[in-house]
Amino acid sequence: MADFSNQAYQPPPAKPNSNLALASLILGILGWTILPTLGSIGAIITGHMAKSEIKNSMGALAGDGMATAGLVLGYANIAIALCICLAVFGMLALGITIPFINR
């Protein structure tokens, strides 16, 4: 029987992350800070593309969590913006004044 006690453990090499997943995460963060609409739309598009790329790589690529985070950030930003727009238009349709808009 071979003695392997003095050999160091070598972990398997790390899988590379998908560049699209990283782009989705970055655009999702930018969607909440500098580029509200464009960043969110870009995060959604690249997030779906990254998920597809990772799935089709058959385990060769990592980054599914980053793609999911970018999708969540993008969809949440769009959903909140739509809710705010609907609330403002609803208030205007009902004739309710908005305090910070001077007429």
Query: Is 21:66 a contact under the CB 8 Å cutoff?
Result: yes
Tokens of 88: 């403002």
pLDDT at position 102, please?
61
**pLDDT one-digit tens code per residue, 65-87:** 999 999 999 999 999 999 999 99
Query: Is 66:17 a contact under the CB 8 Å cutoff?
Result: yes
Give the domain ranges of the chain.
Answer: 19-94
Record the pTM: 0.80
Task: Report d(CA 95, CA 103) in Å as an integer.
Answer: 12
Which amino acid does the sequence have at 77? N
pLDDT at position 1, please?
60
Has residue 103 got a pLDDT over 90? Answer: no
pLDDT at position 3, please?
60
